[in-house]
A and B are shown apart, each in its own frame.
Chain A
């Protein structure tokens, strides 16, 4: 039955109109607030490749929550049988342009509190530590993952042997011999029992495109942190030393 416009609206209808107006007004204010909130979140000065500062602050807050609540070096990444190993693709070649012969390569170690390399190690020095091997699902920030075998030495063993006392540093920074690629990480993740300095992948010596002669494997973080062809390891006081992908908008922590 259509509304008869000559008849005065009932009390109920008046009330409903009033409430409908109020409802739409609320909806409008809510929508405007959502737009304003989005603008607020995405605003603020930042480098061209970086993300807006408020989003960065949220990533840091997330990191703080994770590190205070669930992170533990007793939490281990799942390990797999050899039959699960797949073929991992080389992804990223920044810092791998130079030809490094294994015999000429040296790893510079800068202990905590020093500014110069105290040691320049060759591969044989590092191989003297207990061999450690793992088969883990290597996870890329892009979403793919590949079960891969790595062998080398635990970074915690390396630190205890070649940089005594440096485990007290808040962070570790590493870079390629040419300095083109560089990462940094928090000390707990670096000392995680599954963090490895690897020279072997899937039973073969590490190939150039996978970071020969020595690379990092950090299964508690995305692959962007697992730097290939390490030239220098530095134990530092800064909380967030320079990091290649963090400068390009990614979460510095990148923890899994």
Chain B
């Protein structure tokens, strides 16, 4: 919400631009151009929600012991490649898994680490004078901006793939996501 007044976001090298973020059609469709002040206010309000929500999730996951099902173990990194290739259409059998497969364990843990990094890079940009040591640690003001931006792009990528995978996995999976429960084994009546 904060990028609209100054728009240097692009993928490219030097003066060559491969892709310019937020093309004019985007601005025309969303009517957000030149609302930097509002965007900043919303950003600094929702940063609190982001931080509190993230901390609550981490505290609950640790306290409940559910982190054991989410954190990757020594086998996860090898198995995750098998899962990714299986999902990509290769005829590779899935390794045995608990509630979450190896790729899920790595992704869901990485997204939490990214969230923590977003908070740190955000603080480094927000108060580069008062928390100058943090800004310096992250490579300086402009590097912290770069990192903060690409972490956000990472969430967009996560979101798109996640939604696509949920649609592919179908109704029983969505049902288990929403209800928190799944039926397995002899009592399962759904097609598998």
Q: Which of A13, A77, A249 contacts B129 (CB 8 A)?
A: A77
Minimum CB–CB distance from A51 to chain B (whole Å) comes to 5
Set of chain A residues within 8 Å of B40, measured between Cβ atoms: 141, 250-251
Cα separation A59 to B75 with both chains bound (whole Å): 46
Query: Which of A21-29, A104-112, A157-165, A202-210 is the interface stretch?
Result: A21-29
Are the CB atoms of B190 and A3 closer together than 8 Å? yes
Cα separation A179 to B120 with both chains bound (whole Å): 40
Query: Which of A67-75, A119-127, A148-156, A231-239 is the interface stretch?
Result: A67-75
Set of chain A residues within 8 Å of B136, measured between Cβ atoms: 78
Kindly identify, within residues 129 to 180 of chain B, every residue whose CB is under 8 Å from any CB belonging to chain A.
129-132, 135-136, 140-142, 145, 175, 178-180
Cα separation A184 to B179 with both chains bound (whole Å): 54
Are the CB atoms of B141 and A145 closer together than 8 Å? yes
Are the CB atoms of A59 and B44 closer together than 8 Å? yes
Query: Which of B1-9, B16-24, B61-69, B102-110 is the interface stretch?
Result: B1-9
A139 at the interface (CB under 8 A from B): yes
Among B37, B126, B135, B175, the one with the most A-chain Cβ atoms within 10 Å of its Cβ is B37
Set of chain B residues within 8 Å of A22, measured between Cβ atoms: 179
Set of chain A residues within 8 Å of B130, measured between Cβ atoms: 66, 70-72, 75, 220, 255-256
B113 at the interface (CB under 8 A from A): no
Contact with B along A237-256 (1 / 0, CB 8 A): 00000000100111100011
Cα separation A198 to B170 with both chains bound (whole Å): 65
Are the CB atoms of A51 and B132 closer together than 8 Å? no
A2 at the interface (CB under 8 A from B): yes
Instruction: Pick the 8 closest A-B CB pairs, nearest first.
Output: A249-B37, A23-B178, A142-B6, A23-B179, A55-B41, A19-B179, A143-B6, A256-B129
Are the CB atoms of B36 and A142 closer together than 8 Å? yes
Minimum CB–CB distance from B125 to chain A (whole Å) comes to 9
Q: Which of A2, A143, A255 contacts B8 (CB 8 A)?
A: A143
Are the CB atoms of B36 and A51 closer together than 8 Å? no
State the interface size on chain B (CB cutoff 8 A): 39
Chain A's interface size range is: 35 or more
Contact with A along B174-192 (1 / 0, CB 8 A): 0100111111000101111
Set of chain B residues within 8 Å of A75, measured between Cβ atoms: 129-130, 132
Cα separation A51 to B38 with both chains bound (whole Å): 6
Set of chain A residues within 8 Å of B190, measured between Cβ atoms: 3
Are the CB atoms of B41 and A249 closer together than 8 Å? yes
Set of chain A residues within 8 Å of B2, measured between Cβ atoms: 143
Are the CB atoms of B179 and A58 closer together than 8 Å? no
Set of chain B residues within 8 Å of A70, measured between Cβ atoms: 127, 130-131
Minimum CB–CB distance from B164 to chain A (whole Å) comes to 20
Minimum CB–CB distance from B160 to chain A (whole Å) comes to 20
**Which A residue sits closest to B38, measured CB to CB?**
A51
Are the CB atoms of A3 and B38 closer together than 8 Å? no
Contact with B along A1-45 (1 / 0, CB 8 A): 111000001101100100110111001000000000000010000
Are the CB atoms of A143 and B145 closer together than 8 Å? yes
Are the CB atoms of B127 and A16 closer together than 8 Å? no
Cα separation A190 to B36 with both chains bound (whole Å): 25
Minimum CB–CB distance from B35 to chain A (whole Å) comes to 8
Are the CB atoms of B129 and A220 closer together than 8 Å? yes
Among A10, A24, A142, the one with the most B-chain Cβ atoms within 10 Å of its Cβ is A142
Set of chain B residues within 8 Å of A115, measured between Cβ atoms: none
Are the CB atoms of B187 and A12 closer together than 8 Å? yes
A129 at the interface (CB under 8 A from B): no
